Chain A
Amino acid sequence: MITITPKRKFDVPIQAACINVDIFTGKTLEDIKKLAITEGKENLTLNDAFNITEDKTVETPNITLIGDFSKVKRIGQGMKTGEIIINGNAGMHTGEKLAGGKIVVNGNSDGWTGSEMKKGLIEIHGDAGDYTASPFRGTDTGGMKGGIIIVDGNVGSNVGCYLRGGTIKIKGSAGRFLGHHMSDGTIYIEKNCASRAGTFMTGGKIIINGTIELVMPTFTIDSIKPKVKVDATLNAPGPFYVFLGDIAEHGTGKIFALKTTNPALSTYEKYL
């Protein structure tokens, strides 16, 4: 196990895509210390900004980060195997393009966490920022394809944009434009959801256990279902209002909104 702690407080963002189990594997501690990072416009080595120690007795997790990493971007980018634990806050793009393995954040993570991810697991025990699991701006084919993201806290806006597969479970609330442009996959929210969920969606599921601020007018009521499957391990008990949309995109995506927490939606019942 490699343990990394910051040497100082960072003012400008650090790009540290090299904090990655695939890259560390097979390297000695000295080699790891020499890996290149940038702090703002300065080119540094990992050792310039962080204290790095190795504990050969412990196998997993492979990398432990202790301290405030909220200015450190791209931790575990493109990682295929192994496990990273961050005891503190994580910066933007944590676990971007993750292709396997596991990343645990015992704190909050910033925007674009799990962006364009393909496989693996990201657990965030705090809040996650905007654009969690969303691709780079303007990319239409880069949405999250698979894997699981679990957030214990709340998430920001534009979470799960262009989602094409995989599951996002949020135990808190979600901001606006949840599942914007999504075509497949599942988003499950235990608490409330701000307006404009599912705009442009053409497939997939958004399940809301709390209140939904607004169902877009381009969604139409389909039915009331007693329960809905989130994934292999979880069935959410209902009853749920099921909305189909986004009709403006000829979409067949589904928004499930819990009946008991959304009395305002009862007006839709007359269209059933």
Chain B
Amino acid sequence: MTEILIKNGFVVDPLNKIDCQKMDIAIKNGRIVEKVNEREAKIIDASGLTVMAGGVDLHSHIAGSEVNLGRMLRPDDHVKDAVRKTALTRAGTGYSIPSTYVTGYRYSKMGYTTVMNPSMAAMKAKHAHEELNDIPLIDKASFTLLGDWWFALENIAKGDLVECARHIAWMIRATRSYAIKIVNPGGLESWGFGRNVHSIDDKVPNFDLTPRDIITGLAKVNTMLNMPHTIHLHTNNLGVPGNYKTAIETMQALESVYTGDKPIGHITHIQFCSFAGDNWAHFKSGAAEIANYLNAHNHMTIDIGQVTFADTTTMTADGPFEFSLYELGGHNKWVNSDVETESSGGIIPFHFKKKNAVNAIQWSIGLELSLMVKDPWKVAMTTDHPNGGPFYHYPRVFAWLYSRKAREATLKKCNKKAQRKSLLPTLDREYTLYELAIITRAGTAKMLGLKNKGHIGIGAEADVAIYNINPNTTDIAQDYKPVRKAFSNAIYTIKDGEIVVKDKELVTIRPGRTMWLDVQTKEPCRIDDELKRKFKEYWTIEFDNYPVTDHYIKVPEKITIQASV
């Protein structure tokens, strides 16, 4: 392996409390080291440039059956953005749902090196892994949808959390996944019968349970298993006006599980569940209430799910939500499905428009939340790709966060009613580069429990991004456009000590790893005849064929965890 020395860059590394200090970063054997032999190392002159750890995205739908279904549904999306092959890269298509290779290329060019695929139906895990194999350059992992998993629900209803934990550990291993994803708990099970749950205390059909029980139960299970990430929660009532109350109730429900050391829950794309008002006509922002709650409590983290005003494709496992979105009208084509006993899914092409009051308020809510939650370590920047906008629109979101001027320029073009309702003119906060590094790499890596990612201290994985931003000479808030441009294409991206982007162009294509957890419980999960019988009766896949086997993952990275049960 070559040795690399990045000289004289302005290093921004929040996990090691380094804020724009001029220093050298040495890389050897894929790790950050103290020093390298200067005469033998490859020298990168980063003077006048900003050096950060490679970006870590904790919520981006990049692979899986729903993503692929979205691709099939939208040839019109591909024709807008056809990507030609080059000597190095393969051809593909882009826009809202880029093909696998293009996903890897674009993330890498933005300086991102780790991406989490946050929604994987257990039954479709094999497909998801095959697609992840084809995404080059970035490390990735998937979260399995377990919020409506029958056996988990049964065990929670029985009150047997220990057995539930062992079962979840088995599932995490069987699907080669990284965390517990909960989508509209109870709602997806209800959707199998054409119903939904409308509060966290509604009854789930056929189970003696409420969403509250599922959320708190799985949060406890998550702690028992010593999982690196918290539960990854998509709340009930997503996308319904007035749902900020549900989001707050959900967070309050989790207070009882909190032991005081580290967060125990993560609410994802919280913008979509911070709606106030009784109906769409009186739609307004509930960001202030959510932000106040988060500022007063430490047991939750969030990511934003920012809207970027794009012609995008919404896709989620929350089938009932997508159905209500369809009912709002104006849609040409859509998909809604029930993934057997496990989950559901929906896909609707959606164009977020500045002139639409609701869309513009949604845009405002995302930014209000990011700015009003005081501690950046609680916030992660996402667009819930592709729901709020494609991931390569992130630099636009950065600009809105670090520059009041950029926000105002966009707000001026928005719907008048939305402008009046927006809280943005009252918010003076502008993110610094340090805070921006927190919400895009340091904080997200911390939330995910990835100890060797998100920072460039000694021993960290050598994932580095170098951007053309000189913090000494540029006022990023005033000069937001060049900085935005700099973030959209890193000068250098280094992945595992290998230069993959040089002078803004891809120079090496290498596979990324797929991380998965091997959670070792003290006693194995009970695989009894009853479980096998259910598989035989209700699933289309035999139990023996169900788990993802090793050969499905090309470059696996097994992370072994010792559970406390």
Contacts and interface: CB of A to CB of B under 8 A. Distances in A.
B87 to A, nearest CB: 14
B499 interface: no
Interface stretch (B50-58, B73-81, B168-176, B253-261): B73-81
- Most chain B CB within 10 A, of A136, A138, A139, A140, is at A138
A136 B332 contact: no
A142 interface: yes
Contacts of B75: 136-138
A142 B73 CA distance: 16
Contacts of B333: 138, 140
Interface string B51-75: 0000000000000000000000111
Interface string A110-126: 00000000000000000
A78 to B, nearest CB: 14
Contacts of A139: 76, 79
A73 B347 CA distance: 33
Contacts of B76: 135-140, 142
B464 to A, nearest CB: 37
Interface in A124-147: 135-140, 142
A140 B77 CA distance: 11
Contacts of B77: 138
Nearest to B79: A136
Contacts of B79: 136, 139
- Most chain B CB within 10 A, of A140, A142, A181, is at A140
B271 to A, nearest CB: 26
Contacts of A138: 73-77, 333
- Most chain B CB within 10 A, of A135, A139, A142, is at A139
Nearest to A162: B332
Nearest to B330: A140
A140 B333 CA distance: 8
Contacts of A142: 76
Tell me what chain A mostly uses at the interface: helix, strand, loop, or mixed.
loop
A224 to B, nearest CB: 33
Interface in B68-100: 73-77, 79
Nearest to B351: A141
A97 B262 CA distance: 57
Contacts of A135: 76
A226 to B, nearest CB: 36
A137 B76 CA distance: 6
Contacts of B73: 138
A138 B347 CA distance: 14
Contacts of A140: 76, 332-333, 349
A139 B351 CA distance: 13
Nearest to A135: B76
B316 to A, nearest CB: 21
B331 to A, nearest CB: 8
A138 B74 CA distance: 6
A142 B79 CA distance: 12
A15 to B, nearest CB: 12
Contacts of B349: 140
A138 B333 CA distance: 8
A142 B76 CA distance: 9
A158 to B, nearest CB: 15
A164 B79 CA distance: 21
A115 B457 CA distance: 57
A163 to B, nearest CB: 14
A138 B80 CA distance: 12
A140 B75 CA distance: 11
A164 B257 CA distance: 57
Contacts of B74: 138
Interface in A21-67: none
Interface string A137-181: 111101000000000000000000000000000000000000001
Interface string B344-361: 000001000000000000
Interface in A180-234: 181
A136 B78 CA distance: 11
A181 B74 CA distance: 17
A181 B73 CA distance: 17
A135 to B, nearest CB: 8
A138 B77 CA distance: 8
Contacts of A137: 75-76
A138 B335 CA distance: 13
A181 B76 CA distance: 16
B337 to A, nearest CB: 19
B328 to A, nearest CB: 15
A93 to B, nearest CB: 12
Contacts of A181: 332
A120 B86 CA distance: 38
- Most chain A CB within 10 A, of B75, B332, B333, is at B332
B264 to A, nearest CB: 43
A137 B75 CA distance: 6
A125 B332 CA distance: 34
A135 B332 CA distance: 14
A206 B124 CA distance: 45
A140 B349 CA distance: 10
Nearest to B77: A138
A137 B79 CA distance: 9
A135 B77 CA distance: 13
A142 B332 CA distance: 12
A257 B357 CA distance: 43
A135 B80 CA distance: 13
A142 B311 CA distance: 13
- Most chain A CB within 10 A, of B74, B79, B333, is at B79
Nearest to A181: B332
A139 B333 CA distance: 10
A25 to B, nearest CB: 27
B353 to A, nearest CB: 12
A137 B333 CA distance: 12
A223 B357 CA distance: 41
A76 B440 CA distance: 46
A241 B76 CA distance: 36
Contacts of B332: 140, 181
A137 B73 CA distance: 10
Contacts of A136: 75-76, 79
A113 B217 CA distance: 60
A153 B73 CA distance: 34
A136 B79 CA distance: 8
Interface of A: 135-140, 142, 181
The 4 A-B residue pairs with the shortest CB-CB distance, nearest first, are: A140-B332, A139-B76, A138-B76, A138-B75
Interface of B: 73-77, 79, 332-333, 349
20 contacts: A135-B76, A136-B75, A136-B76, A136-B79, A137-B75, A137-B76, A138-B73, A138-B74, A138-B75, A138-B76, A138-B77, A138-B333, A139-B76, A139-B79, A140-B76, A140-B332, A140-B333, A140-B349, A142-B76, A181-B332
Given A137-B76, A139-B79, 9 more contacts: A135-B76, A136-B75, A136-B76, A137-B75, A138-B75, A138-B333, A139-B76, A140-B76, A140-B333
